[in-house]
Structure 1
């Protein structure tokens, strides 16, 4: 027997079918072990020895793999074809060796880039050994992230109360967002004007031209600085007649973009179909693992974690045949297009992301895909096919309109698409500009030709700062700087939002004040760690480890020497020093100079002579007066409005905020904060009567909750429509566990990608189709039971049709037509089944005195059982000696209080684990 280990159960089922008898394919369900979230898991004092532990959820999967491997001839490790996949294979082998499950078993590594039968069969013909260099690079990266997270985060908690944690790459990404925001705040817009005139040729064709020269001098962008200058320029144009000057024509080619890499897929999915990076990767994973087509599970795309843009010769040939047959030979270039990776720190030598079969068009598979899967597959298919199409050909035309005295010149430009080429199939999305592919035609113009001026207009403009980062532009910038890996960008962005460091506002990242404080602290006291070039150089060194050119332990030694010195220097750092540094760095943000009559933005509005500044308290940062305790003025950490109150984005969530009045009842609508988060409330409590309340959905920023949104929330649950199959209503609402849709007894949670207030009928039906028990039909009513008047229904069950009344179900006799069942037929069947039903278990009695007396003994035995279980499941590099176990058990049994303290210790460690774990897996 040959045992094959893959990562996911869906992949295991498909590959087992391809390989046939003689192979048993099992899933590891991702990573099987990790570094325990406690100090000492990476030990710099012992040359960075790493203590690994099998995850509790993975233990049963590893037991199954170990049991299968013990009787196997070969063990094939077929996890994903990237560094993470190589690391998972290494972990599986290490665990199996520790459990002595590989005696006489040959272990080999198998990689494939697509889940198709031909690719799988071919891969198993060419197995290889585990790549030690890739494993070493993984170990170095994991150790780095652990050391930064578990060393730096406690410093943050001590020196900057209210902070969460810091990570090696995540902190640099946060710095990018914060620095862009600082640039926007410091930006001073400048006024400028443009002047355009409308002309008409002798043939009656109209076109526009923009003023470029005035008084014989070329105008720069800001030269016309005010309305008076614009009026003078308009008058100068109106006072002159114009003729056509030299006409310039040139043809330019636009070439298609290469197939997608991980980062470019995330960028384009964000721009074109509005998918977040994390949703893009999850959807791509499903397309890679495959969907059922004609009774066979087929992977639709190649592996989606890649930096490569090249694709196989077979795929290129297929794309060229498809283009010629579908669009015509003029769209097929003379030679195949060959692309090469330009990305900095390209890490994976894989193909670009492409369809596994070019002739499997989106229309052919759309019925087997969800809406998200269909849109993403179509994007990948179009991009890949277009990458092998002919270039687009455009004609660009420019002409000057000259005054008779040559003192005033206007410029008219236009372009014409002569041949659409790849644009017939694919146009790249643009993040910050309009698509410039559209035609802007000029009429036929001849040098020296006469034109009539029809009108002159001026327009006021202001210079704009660089825009805030979107998901697409942030991913692009991280890739340009060589920071992190494209496969981790989605998790980095999620971590920044989950920790409350940034928020999305109109699809743009806005740093929260908490995030700005963390960035200011790190740049002030750990500047090297968050420098862009330092993080990029570390990625280069990790690449050198994967190439076998650098020893991974030496890399860690060099890093730790500098990093530990920086940490040591903060031990004597006082909170006063931290506050002073942060106050100086962030003063411009929290106390902007509004230029209002010499008003000091730091002046205290209460005592008049105090100075406002940044303060740190037990629960985080706030703004307070320097005359404390005489003056107790404070406000939340937020930018001040003109009335001296805190802005909505940073207002104190503990203070109720009135959103307005309900137009129907006249009652006030409040936003408040309770023990389970923020909620909206209609009216005020009166006696024992509680006002109507509704929780704010998870993922909805409180700053986005307006009166209209609050009223919509208070109106929940709402009926979306009727189910197309049953005719019963589908309802959307918010419950104890969040937003949901409901159809009959079936509930399905609404994810972060959908809005409970706007979700439509089609999307709700899709969600309900994936709910647990989705295959169970509501049943066909045939009448009411005479005993209680409750309905009797007929259902199509897994093991045949049955009738149901309340909780009683009775299977129909074999051969009985379900459509012909009546109440008279159903009653005896239900009665017979009810007579056979087992009696309900007796209610649990109260503990007797003897039980209470025995309880301490049971409690004392519990630590012994827990200790034995822990010893059996521990998975470390060296096993504990048997002699060491006995005293530990005796001690636990003798002192039950110690055992009771363990859950508290575990609870105390849990927040630390959640906060300090690095963002890269």
Structure 2
């Protein structure tokens, strides 16, 4: 199964990347699991783009009795509901202000009813790979890769008190929630000794409801329950301790009693017309939360004090009536944790591959790796649309990918043959790919947006995808006059849909003169590395600024600052040969623009003559060729 997976990943990844390089961009690449993951990201972004927010207003009041206060929301007027699924029919500020004014005329409000009920909360199952990565991401702020790395160290173990290395957790690549009989026995022994009143008494078993779960290994758990986090804290670094504590607590809590909440729903009536509602809860019985609780219960403790004092028919003083503007929200973008959850639910990927999938997404040109959520680039959208159009029945089809994972599982169970799996999957895919390489038109794929006709030249202006990313083109290759190109600012690259003809006209003016300094023109422009200011031989990167808002004064300040930095960098320059002695991040070095040679530690770089520098460059060792394996 491993060989079949690796073979298909290599063949399909290499082939689809070849197609994307030739037809879309040299920056594009794809893969058997990476491409369906990208589809999830892009389709979520399309949902967000289509989303139209709806304005609504929330009306609430703060009411108190004997120093105990609650905030209640308006839910109905004259028996007619104003709130449905968290959205009110108070559609604008005028209507909200009218209601506020009417309610403020009253000074008190009466509690019409108080309903109490119990809600039991079961402990969560022991960790799988996916649930550990998701929980560590949300509660500890660990990236998926970071969680995998730290878990690996815990699995490999540490030396405790000079003894042999002890593995601290079980195998960390698993989709099972089961615990071994030995582990269950150890947990019950620990609870009987330390928390006898909180032990569940029976074995809690958890059913895994994830598509194609193999359950080849047990859940992620401590190897020894009696190694509590406090006992081994001194042997672990901060990250290791936090993750071990999370795993230990979740494992032990899985065999403890339910937590019990007391829920209170309170209706408050004003003038037999306006009905307000307050809902609150507090923890009545800790159960498993005595050990494992990631929530903040301080507010719930306050609720307990309030709710115990307020009863039906109590009259409360109205302290404040508030209105708040709200808008419905689009679905959230995926982050590392939620993307893994979505892949797991679809049966795509395996515990051993989640880190690789996320890493490939982050290392690609498809999302901004600096952001916590995945916002697809223009390239990502083009690649995704292209793959759906031409490979929608196999490579980026969620069901196809899940079926293949099931096929691979059957190989692992001895039910299917490796070679048959490879042939059945790859041969139809390759045949389709060869057909697409012949028939798909490049120009069909690379036009991102039609901006219209240039008002001065009469030529069409479009946003197109090139091998260097999105750019603006005036004219076509069929015209007698060659097309003219304009680079995009970083902001526009991130939001292709926002580009207008006005942006294009502005960008086609570059390079643009904005002033003079020392009798030399100052120009703004956009190059391969982004926007910059130029004056004579000085170029200053301005990636963090809006290039069109830079004036002459600001540009001169940037140029002077850059020259001061360069002056400290340059030790000596030999104009005739073009050789320079420079200060670098690793110390002084000699360069001719092609070769770099470090200056020996016992040599003063200022003392080097031009002849010595040329000799150093001549005798410089040849750089070893670096062979890079193509990534699929």
TM range (shorter): 0.7 to 0.9
> Structure 1 residue aligned with 2:4, among 140, 160, 166?
140
* Change in CA separation of 1:486 and 1:610 when aligned onto 2, cut-off 3 Å: farther
* Secondary structure at the counterpart of residue 151 of structure 2: helix
- Looking at structure 1, the residues matched to 224 and 69 of structure 2 have their Cα atoms a distance apart, in angstroms, of 49
Q: CA deviation at 1:561?
A: 4.2
Q: CA deviation at 1:915?
A: 2.7
> Structure 1 residue aligned with 2:158, among 283, 291, 310?
291
The 8 Å contact of residues 136 and 142 in structure 2, kept in 1 or not, is answered as: yes
> Structure 2 residue aligned with 1:357, among 224, 231, 235?
224
> Structure 1 residue aligned with 2:417, among 535, 544, 551?
551
The residue that corresponds to 1:215 in the other structure is 78
1:34-60 superposed Cα distances (whole Å, 9 cap, x missing partner)? xxxxxxxxxxxxxxxxxxxxxxxxxxx
Q: CA deviation at 1:338?
A: 2.3
Alignment of 1:467-866 (within 5 A): 467-528=332-393, 529-575=395-441, 578-581=442-445, 583=447, 587=449, 602-604=451-453, 607=456, 609-617=458-466, 619-626=468-475, 632=484, 634-636=486-488, 637=493, 639=496, 640=498, 644-645=502-503, 735=585
- Looking at structure 2, the residues matched to 436 and 623 of structure 1 have their Cα atoms a distance apart, in angstroms, of 54
* Secondary structure at the counterpart of residue 267 of structure 1: helix
* Change in CA separation of 1:239 and 1:338 when aligned onto 2, cut-off 3 Å: same
The 8 Å contact of residues 210 and 410 in structure 1, kept in 2 or not, is answered as: yes
> Structure 2 residue aligned with 1:246, among 113, 126, 147?
113
- Looking at structure 1, the residues matched to 270 and 356 of structure 2 have their Cα atoms a distance apart, in angstroms, of 60
1:475-525 superposed Cα distances (whole Å, 9 cap, x missing partner)? 111111111112211111111222222223541112222222211211121
The residue that corresponds to 2:173 in the other structure is 305
- Looking at structure 1, the residues matched to 339 and 525 of structure 2 have their Cα atoms a distance apart, in angstroms, of 32
* Secondary structure at the counterpart of residue 572 of structure 1: helix
* Change in CA separation of 1:574 and 1:288 when aligned onto 2, cut-off 3 Å: closer
Unaligned runs of 5+ in 2: 513-521, 548-553, 566-582, 588-617
Q: CA deviation at 1:322?
A: 2.5
- Looking at structure 1, the residues matched to 525 and 457 of structure 2 have their Cα atoms a distance apart, in angstroms, of 32
1:383-429 superposed Cα distances (whole Å, 9 cap, x missing partner)? 11222222211100001112343x32111111111122222222347
The 8 Å contact of residues 673 and 679 in structure 1, kept in 2 or not, is answered as: yes
The 8 Å contact of residues 56 and 88 in structure 2, kept in 1 or not, is answered as: yes
The 8 Å contact of residues 259 and 353 in structure 1, kept in 2 or not, is answered as: yes
- Looking at structure 2, the residues matched to 364 and 684 of structure 1 have their Cα atoms a distance apart, in angstroms, of 61
* Change in CA separation of 1:158 and 1:385 when aligned onto 2, cut-off 3 Å: same
- Looking at structure 1, the residues matched to 303 and 390 of structure 2 have their Cα atoms a distance apart, in angstroms, of 54
The 8 Å contact of residues 244 and 401 in structure 1, kept in 2 or not, is answered as: yes
- Looking at structure 2, the residues matched to 422 and 410 of structure 1 have their Cα atoms a distance apart, in angstroms, of 34
Bigger radius of gyration among the two: 1
* Change in CA separation of 1:283 and 1:398 when aligned onto 2, cut-off 3 Å: same
* Secondary structure at the counterpart of residue 137 of structure 2: helix
- Looking at structure 2, the residues matched to 151 and 157 of structure 1 have their Cα atoms a distance apart, in angstroms, of 10
The residue that corresponds to 2:185 in the other structure is 317
Alignment of 1:184-203 (within 5 A): 184-201=48-65, 203=66
The 8 Å contact of residues 198 and 208 in structure 1, kept in 2 or not, is answered as: yes
* Secondary structure at the counterpart of residue 317 of structure 2: strand
The residue that corresponds to 1:915 in the other structure is 631
- Looking at structure 2, the residues matched to 359 and 914 of structure 1 have their Cα atoms a distance apart, in angstroms, of 47
* Change in CA separation of 1:544 and 1:217 when aligned onto 2, cut-off 3 Å: same
* Change in CA separation of 1:162 and 1:402 when aligned onto 2, cut-off 3 Å: same
The residue that corresponds to 1:180 in the other structure is 44
* Secondary structure at the counterpart of residue 630 of structure 2: helix
Q: TM-score, normalising length from structure 1?
A: 0.53
- Looking at structure 1, the residues matched to 369 and 541 of structure 2 have their Cα atoms a distance apart, in angstroms, of 26
The residue that corresponds to 1:346 in the other structure is 213
The residue that corresponds to 1:235 in the other structure is 101
* Change in CA separation of 1:277 and 1:166 when aligned onto 2, cut-off 3 Å: same
- Looking at structure 1, the residues matched to 333 and 157 of structure 2 have their Cα atoms a distance apart, in angstroms, of 37
1:266-305 superposed Cα distances (whole Å, 9 cap, x missing partner)? 1111111111111211111111111111222111111101
* Secondary structure at the counterpart of residue 455 of structure 1: strand
Q: CA deviation at 1:620?
A: 5.0
* Change in CA separation of 1:635 and 1:506 when aligned onto 2, cut-off 3 Å: closer
The 8 Å contact of residues 12 and 426 in structure 2, kept in 1 or not, is answered as: no
Q: Of the two structures, which has the highest relative contact order with CA contacts closer than 8 Å and spacing of 6 or more? A: 2
* Change in CA separation of 1:548 and 1:481 when aligned onto 2, cut-off 3 Å: same
- Looking at structure 2, the residues matched to 536 and 269 of structure 1 have their Cα atoms a distance apart, in angstroms, of 26
* Change in CA separation of 1:617 and 1:514 when aligned onto 2, cut-off 3 Å: closer
Across the two proteins, how many residue pairs are aligned to each other?
A: 545
- Looking at structure 2, the residues matched to 150 and 353 of structure 1 have their Cα atoms a distance apart, in angstroms, of 34
The 8 Å contact of residues 271 and 429 in structure 1, kept in 2 or not, is answered as: no
Q: CA deviation at 1:208?
A: 1.5
- Looking at structure 1, the residues matched to 342 and 301 of structure 2 have their Cα atoms a distance apart, in angstroms, of 27
- Looking at structure 2, the residues matched to 186 and 435 of structure 1 have their Cα atoms a distance apart, in angstroms, of 39
1:189-248 superposed Cα distances (whole Å, 9 cap, x missing partner)? 1111000012233x4532121001123211231411110121232234335664222221
- Looking at structure 2, the residues matched to 251 and 367 of structure 1 have their Cα atoms a distance apart, in angstroms, of 41
The 8 Å contact of residues 160 and 620 in structure 1, kept in 2 or not, is answered as: no
- Looking at structure 2, the residues matched to 610 and 427 of structure 1 have their Cα atoms a distance apart, in angstroms, of 64
The residue that corresponds to 1:427 in the other structure is 293
The 8 Å contact of residues 162 and 620 in structure 1, kept in 2 or not, is answered as: no
C-alpha RMSD of matched pairs (Å): 4.2
Q: CA deviation at 1:141?
A: 1.5
Q: Does residue 453 of the first structure (1) align with residue 302 of the second (2)?
A: no
The residue that corresponds to 1:377 in the other structure is 244
* Secondary structure at the counterpart of residue 375 of structure 2: strand
Unaligned runs of 5+ in 1: 1-136, 592-601, 658-667, 716-732, 738-845, 848-902, 917-921
The residue that corresponds to 1:46 in the other structure is none
The 8 Å contact of residues 191 and 222 in structure 1, kept in 2 or not, is answered as: no
1:326-356 superposed Cα distances (whole Å, 9 cap, x missing partner)? 4x32222222322232222112421111111
* Secondary structure at the counterpart of residue 301 of structure 1: coil
Q: CA deviation at 1:610?
A: 4.4
* Change in CA separation of 1:608 and 1:242 when aligned onto 2, cut-off 3 Å: farther
* Change in CA separation of 1:610 and 1:168 when aligned onto 2, cut-off 3 Å: same
- Looking at structure 2, the residues matched to 329 and 224 of structure 1 have their Cα atoms a distance apart, in angstroms, of 53
* Secondary structure at the counterpart of residue 337 of structure 1: coil
* Change in CA separation of 1:643 and 1:557 when aligned onto 2, cut-off 3 Å: closer
- Looking at structure 2, the residues matched to 504 and 150 of structure 1 have their Cα atoms a distance apart, in angstroms, of 23
Q: Does residue 463 of the first structure (1) align with residue 328 of the second (2)?
A: yes
The 8 Å contact of residues 14 and 631 in structure 2, kept in 1 or not, is answered as: no
The residue that corresponds to 1:748 in the other structure is none
Q: TM-score, normalising length from structure 2?
A: 0.76
1:514-554 superposed Cα distances (whole Å, 9 cap, x missing partner)? 22221121112111220212211211222222223333333
* Secondary structure at the counterpart of residue 147 of structure 2: helix
The 8 Å contact of residues 534 and 540 in structure 2, kept in 1 or not, is answered as: no
The residue that corresponds to 2:27 in the other structure is 163
